[in-house]
Structure 1
Amino acid sequence: MKTNAGRFFEDYRLGETIVHAVPRTLSGGERALYHALYPARGAVYSSDAFARTCGLPAAPMDDLIAFHTVFGKTVPDISLNAVANLGYAEGRWLAPVWAGDTLRSESVVIGLKENSNGKSGVVYVRSRGFNQHGVVVLDYVRWVMVKKRDLSAPAPEAVVPELAAVVDPASLVVPEGLDFSAYDFALAGERHRWGDYAVGEKIDHVDGVTIEDAEHMLATRLWQNTSKVHFDVTQREDGRRLIYGGHVISLARALSFNGLANAQMIVALNAGAHANPCFAGDTVRAWSEVLDRAETGAKGVGALRLRLVAVKDGAAPFAHKGADGKYAPEVLLDLDYWALVPL
C-alpha cells in the first residue's frame, strides 16, 4: 500500500512528535497573491520603504502568510480526516519571516479525547514552524475533531491540556529593531494610535466581501492545505465545500483595516474558534472589540489585545453570543489576538 489515507483518531499517541513533510520556500509571489485574495493593506507588510522607516530591513511576509504556511504543512498529518478545526490557543509569532525563507513544521500531540458518540475524537497538538536556520518563527496550539476509522477501536485515556486563556503581554516578541517613533500615520492610512483605543470599545469595520469557491480553493491550494472537506463535495452530506477557516481569518483581518489600519503586526493568538461553517456565497463582515492594552519595551510600540469577530450576511450589529453562551448562527469566527500599534 503506497498511498496514504491520512491519520484517524485512533492513530494518534499522546506525546508523539510528528515531522511534517515538504518544506516550503516563500517569495514575493506569495505576498502578491495574498494581497490579491484579500484586501490586505497593512503598510509594514506592503512597503519595504515604510518598513525601513520602522526599523526593519525590509517588509516581512504578512504574519498570516507565515501562519497559513506552517498550518498547511500540518494538515496531511493532523486534519486530513477532520470533521472540524475547533480552536487555537497560546500562539506566538517569534521571528519575522522574510521572502526567501524556507519554512517547515512539527507537531506534538498534547491531548486526546474521544467523543461520546464513539465516531470521532478531539486531537490537541502544539505545532511549531521553523525557518531554514532552525529558528522557531511560530508556535501555537490547536485542537481538531477527527473521524475514527474503526468505530470499535478502544478510546484512549482522556487527556485535555490546560491552556492559558491569554498570552502574557510580557512574553510578546517584538521584531528586532522595530521602532514606531517616526511612524508615518498619513502613509499608513489612519491617524489612530495606541492611546486612542479604549478597553471595551467596539469597532464596526463597515465593509463586506462575498466569498467565492474559486478564491477559497486557490487560497487553500496556495497554503498546500489538503483537508478533504475543502475540495471534495462528497465529504459532506450537504454536498458543499467547507470554506477553509484560515481564509475567513485572513479576510476578517483584512477587513479590520478600516478602523485598525495601525494594528500592524499580529504577535500572539490568545484564542480562536470557528463558530459556524462558512460556504461560498456568504458575505463576510467583521467587527472588533478592544480587550486590553499593554506597553512593550520597543520604541514607540504598544500592544492591543483585540477580539476580531467575522459574521455573515443578516447578522445583527456586533453579533456574538446569546444569553445561553452559544454563538449566534451568523457568527463565523471569534479570534482573540495581540497586535503591535504605534504609541
Structure 2
Amino acid sequence: MSKTNAGRFFEDYRVGQEIVHAVPRTISGGERAMYHALYPARHAVHSSDEFARSVGYSQAPLDDLIAFHVVFGKTVPDVSLNAVANLGYAEGEFLRPVFAGDTLTATSTVIGLKQNSSGKTGVVYVRTRGENQRGEVVLSYVRWVMVRKRDVDAPAFETVVPQLATHVLPKDLPVLQGVDFSRYDFDLAGEAHRWSDYEIGEVIDHVDGVTMEDAEHMLATRLWQNTAKVHFDQTARPDGRRLIYGGHVISMARALSFNGLANAQRIIAINSGAHANPCYAGDTVRAWSEVLDKAELDAPNVGALRLRLVATKGSAGELRGDDGKYLPEILLDLDYWAIVPK
C-alpha cells in the first residue's frame, strides 16, 4: 500500500472541514537575505534593525510577504497540490509582525465549494490563518483555488460560495502597537513622499522591469516549501511550460513599487487579489500602482494608503479592455493597505 501523498482532489473537501498543515517552520535571518537576493526589496523597516527601532519595533520585522509565502506554502500540499490555478485572495490581515526566530504554523478551514460546469474541476474556498510559537495569529486570509476532480463522474456537492468583503474597512485595520513614525528619517528611507503627498486616483509608474527566470522562481518556490507540480514539473501542464508561482509575481511587483512608494513600509491588509494571466520564464514584469483610498490610523504620525498594485508586461495605467476583462498582458491585480508616515 502506497505511503505517498497524491494530494486532495475536489471531491475530498467538505464545507467546515479544518486542515492542520505540516510542518512548523522557524524563520531565520537567512530568509530575509534570500528574499532580498530574489527581489529588489529595500523598504527600510524591513532592511535595518536600527531604522525599525527608531519607529517602534524591537528589531526589523521580516518582509510581510515572507510570512505570507511561508504560510501559503504550508497549505499547498493540502489545498492546491492538484490545482489548475490559484484564482484569488480576500480579507487578508497582517495582524502581527514576524521576526527572525519566530516559528510559524498554518491551519485552513474550507468555507466554500463550487463545481465547474465542465464537471472536471471545482473551486475550493479556504480561510487560512498563520500562528507564531505563542499561538498568536500573525496572518489570516481567504483564497480560492480551481482543483481537479479525481473522478469526473462523482456527483457535485451543493454549491456554497462565501460572501466576502470587497475590502478591509479602515476601522478594521490591525492595531499597530508601539509604532510611532514621529522620528521617521526620510533620507534613510529613500524618498520624501508622505501620506499627505498621495492623492486618491493617482497612478504611479514604478519604471523598472525584471525579466523572470525559471531558476529564480523555482528557488523561491522551494524556499517557501510550495510543492505545486505546475511550478517544477514541465509535464504537469499540457503546454509543457512551468508556471511561475503567483506569489513570486506578487513579491517582484511589491519590490519594484519601492520606486515611488519607498515609504509604504508595511503591508497590513490584502483586500483582494487576482492572478489575471499566467506568467512564464522570459516574461518581463513591470509594475504600477493606483491610490484607491487613504485612512487615518490610531498611531503617531502613521497613515494608511489603499493601493492597487498591478504587475504587467504592458504599460502603466492599462488594466482592462473594452469588454471589461483583464488585458492579456496583466499578470496580477492586488488591492492592499500599507502604512505610510504622515
Provide the rounded CA distance (Å) in 2 between the counterparts of 1:200 and 1:225: 36
Equivalent pair of 1:96/1:175 in contact (CA under 8 Å): no
Counterpart residue number, 2:184: 183
List per-residue Cα deviations over 1:233-269 (Å, max 9, x = no partner).
1111110000000000000000000000000000000
Provide the rounded CA distance (Å) in 1 between the counterparts of 2:82 and 2:228: 7
Equivalent pair of 1:208/1:285 in contact (CA under 8 Å): yes
Counterpart residue number, 1:21: 22
Provide the rounded CA distance (Å) in 2 between the counterparts of 1:317 and 1:289: 10
Counterpart residue number, 2:329: 330
List per-residue Cα deviations over 1:17-63 (Å, max 9, x = no partner).
00001110000000000000000000000000000110111101110
Counterpart residue number, 2:224: 223
Name the SS for the 2:125 alignment partner: strand
Query: 1:175, CA displacement in angstroms?
Result: 3.2
Query: 1:176, CA displacement in angstroms?
Result: 1.7
Provide the rounded CA distance (Å) in 1 between the counterparts of 2:20 and 2:166: 27
- Tell me the TM-score normalized by structure 2: 0.99
Provide the rounded CA distance (Å) in 2 between the counterparts of 1:116 and 1:319: 31
The amino acid that maps onto 1:331 is I
Unaligned runs of 5+ in 2: none
Equivalent pair of 1:37/1:215 in contact (CA under 8 Å): yes
Residue 323 of structure 2 corresponds to residue 296 of structure 1:
no
Provide the rounded CA distance (Å) in 2 between the counterparts of 1:318 and 1:303: 22
Query: 1:172, CA displacement in angstroms?
Result: 1.0
Residue 149 of structure 2 corresponds to residue 145 of structure 1:
no
Query: 1:287, CA displacement in angstroms?
Result: 0.2
Query: 1:141, CA displacement in angstroms?
Result: 0.2
Counterpart residue number, 1:321: 320
Counterpart residue number, 1:286: 287
Query: 1:317, CA displacement in angstroms?
Result: 3.5
Give the fraction of aligned pairs with identical amino acids, expressed as a percent. Answer: 75
Provide the rounded CA distance (Å) in 2 between the counterparts of 1:316 and 1:101: 40
Name the SS for the 2:309 alignment partner: strand
Name the SS for the 2:50 alignment partner: helix
Provide the rounded CA distance (Å) in 1 between the counterparts of 2:46 and 2:327: 33
Provide the rounded CA distance (Å) in 2 between the counterparts of 1:177 and 1:92: 18
Counterpart residue number, 1:43: 44
Counterpart residue number, 1:269: 270
Unaligned runs of 5+ in 1: none
Residue 180 of structure 2 corresponds to residue 160 of structure 1:
no
Equivalent pair of 2:212/2:283 in contact (CA under 8 Å): yes
Query: 1:323, CA displacement in angstroms?
Result: 1.9
Query: 1:324, CA displacement in angstroms?
Result: 1.2
Name the SS for the 1:22 alignment partner: strand
Name the SS for the 1:182 alignment partner: coil
Runs of 4+, deviation exceeding 6 Å: none
Alignment length (residue pairs): 341
The amino acid that maps onto 1:132 is Q
Residue 339 of structure 2 corresponds to residue 340 of structure 1:
yes
Equivalent pair of 2:287/2:316 in contact (CA under 8 Å): no
Provide the rounded CA distance (Å) in 2 between the counterparts of 1:255 and 1:249: 10
RMSD over aligned Cα atoms: 0.6
Counterpart residue number, 1:105: 106
Equivalent pair of 1:174/1:267 in contact (CA under 8 Å): no
The amino acid that maps onto 2:117 is S
Residue 100 of structure 2 corresponds to residue 77 of structure 1:
no
Query: 1:173, CA displacement in angstroms?
Result: 1.2
Query: 1:316, CA displacement in angstroms?
Result: 3.4
The amino acid that maps onto 2:328 is P
Query: 1:220, CA displacement in angstroms?
Result: 0.0
1:111-130 mapped onto 2 (5 Å cutoff): 111-130=112-131
Equivalent pair of 1:319/1:330 in contact (CA under 8 Å): no
Provide the rounded CA distance (Å) in 2 between the counterparts of 1:258 and 1:190: 8
Provide the rounded CA distance (Å) in 1 between the counterparts of 2:105 and 2:316: 40
Counterpart residue number, 1:62: 63
Query: 1:297, CA displacement in angstroms?
Result: 0.3
The amino acid that maps onto 1:323 is D
Provide the rounded CA distance (Å) in 2 between the counterparts of 1:174 and 1:327: 34
Provide the rounded CA distance (Å) in 1 between the counterparts of 2:336 and 2:234: 33
Counterpart residue number, 2:91: 90
Query: 1:322, CA displacement in angstroms?
Result: 1.2
Provide the rounded CA distance (Å) in 2 between the counterparts of 1:280 and 1:260: 27
Pick which of 137-146 and 165-174 moved more. Answer: 165-174
Provide the rounded CA distance (Å) in 2 between the counterparts of 1:195 and 1:247: 31
List per-residue Cα deviations over 1:174-219 (Å, max 9, x = no partner).
4321110110000000000000000000000000000000000000
